[in-house]
Amino acid sequence: MGVQQEAQGTVIMSCRDTIHLICWYLEGKLSASVEREIEKHLQDCPDCHLVLDAANTTLDRYFGPARAEEVTADTKAA
């Protein structure tokens, strides 16, 4: 499906799934385990991190600085 599996049996979220879930991730609508998988993927994937940055910029433009302050703390871990 949308996940890849490493040799050690660890499941890794794919770029496609990560990008699909970025907005829900930023809105805090995902389970803690899915958030961890996204954060793990974002640490190793500069392309998906660019998508995260673009989504943040877009949301900031439309929803203002109050949302930016709220999300900054959440995405610094990613």
**What pTM was computed for the model?**
0.67
Beta-bridge mates of residue 3: 13
CA distances from 12 to 8, 62, 72 (A): 11, 32, 25
pLDDT for 11-37, tens place per residue?
A: 679 999 999 999 999 989 999 999 999
Tell me the average pLDDT across 34-59.
94
